[in-house]
Amino acid sequence: MQASDWTVYGQTLSSRLFIGTALYPSPQVMCDAIKASGAQVITVSLRRQSAGQANSGQQFWNMIEALGCHLLPNTAGCYSAAEAIKTAHMARELFETDWIKLEVLGDSFNLQPDPFALLEATKALIADGFKVFPYCTDDLVLCQKLADAGCEVLMPWGAPIGTGQGLLNPYALRTLRERLPGMTLLVDAGIGKPSDAVQAMELGYDGILLNTAVAEALEPALMAEAFKQSINAGRLAFEAGIMPKRDSAKPSTPTLDQPIWQQHG
Amino acid sequence: MQAESIQPIPLILNEQSVETTSTNLQVFLAEHGWTEGRFVVVINDNIVAKSAYPTYQLSAGDRIDVLSPISGG
Nearest chain A CA: its distance from B21 CA (Å): 17
Residues B9-67: name the CATH superfamily. Answer: Beta-grasp domain (3.10.20.30)
Judge whether A101 counts as a catalytic residue: yes
The pLDDT confidence band at residue A257, using thresholds 50, 70 and 90, is confident
| pLDDT (tens digit per residue) in A171-182 | 999 999 999 999
pLDDT band at A50 (very low <50, low <70, confident <90, very high): confident
pLDDT score, position B3: 53
- Average pLDDT, rounded, for chain A: 95
pLDDT band at B64 (very low <50, low <70, confident <90, very high): very high
Quick one: average pLDDT of A113-126?
98
ipTM of the complex, rounded to two decimals? 0.89
Ligand-binding site membership of A158 (annotated): no
The pLDDT value given to residue A263? 65
Q: Which chain A positions have a beta carbon within 8 Å of B44's beta carbon?
A: none
Residues in chain B closer than 8 A to A89 (CB atoms):
47
pLDDT of residue A53: 73
Average pLDDT of B30-58? 94
Which chain B residues touch A50 with a CB distance below 8 Å? Answer: 14, 16
What fold, for A6-240? TIM Barrel (3.20.20)
| Whether B51 contacts chain A with CB within 8 A | no
Mean predicted confidence (pLDDT) in A134-147: 98
Which pLDDT belongs to residue B26? 97
Domain ranges within chain B, ordered by starting residue? 9-67
A20 pLDDT exceeds 60?
Answer: yes
The model's pLDDT over A191-201, given as tens digits with 9 standing for 90+, comes to 999 999 999 99
Q: Which helix (H) or strand (E) holds A30?
A: helix A27-37
Percent of chain A surpassing pLDDT 90 = 89
Name all contacts of A118-124 with Cβ < 8 Å and 24+ positions apart.
A118/A81, A118/A142, A118/A146, A119/A145, A119/A146, A119/A149, A120/A81, A121/A81, A121/A84, A121/A85, A121/A88, A122/A146, A122/A149, A122/A150, A122/A151, A123/A149, A123/A150, A124/A81, A124/A85
The pLDDT of B49-73, averaged and rounded, is 96
pLDDT at A260 over 80: no
Over B23-58, what HEC string results? CEHHHHHHHCCCCCCCCEEEECCEEECHHHCCCCEC
Q: Is A162 annotated as a binding residue?
A: yes
